[in-house]
Amino acid sequence: MWSGDGDIPLYLRVAHGNEVESTMFGKLMADFQKQRQIDALFVADAALYTEDNLQMIVSFRWVSRVTGTLTAAK
C-alpha cells in the first residue's frame, strides 16, 4: 500500500506464490488499519469484491471496480 500523494510506500506484505489475492485483500486492509490507525481511502482492483472481504472492511472507506460478470453486480 502506498500514499496517494507521492506514492510513498506505507505497507508491504510479501505473499506466497500460490496465495490468491482475493482471499487476502480484506486481511491486508485490516492489518494496515490496525497498525496505522489513520482515516484512509482504500483503492483496490476487483479482487477486493468478495463477501468475506466486504465483511472485514465494513467500517472502512474504500472504492473498487466490480467486474460486470459477477452475479452481484448484475
Positions in the chain whose pLDDT score sits under 50: none
Total domains present in the chain: 1
Question: What percentage of residues in the chain have a pLDDT greater than 90?
Answer: 15
Query: What would the 3-class secondary structure string for the chain be?
Result: CECCCCCCECCCCCCCCCCCHHHCHHHHHHHHHHHHCCCCEEEECHHHCCHHHHHHCCCCEEEECCCCCCCCCC
Q: Residue 26 is part of which domain span?
A: 1-74
Q: What is the pLDDT of residue 74?
A: 65
Q: What is the pLDDT of residue 18?
A: 84
pLDDT in tens, 20-29: 888 888 898 8
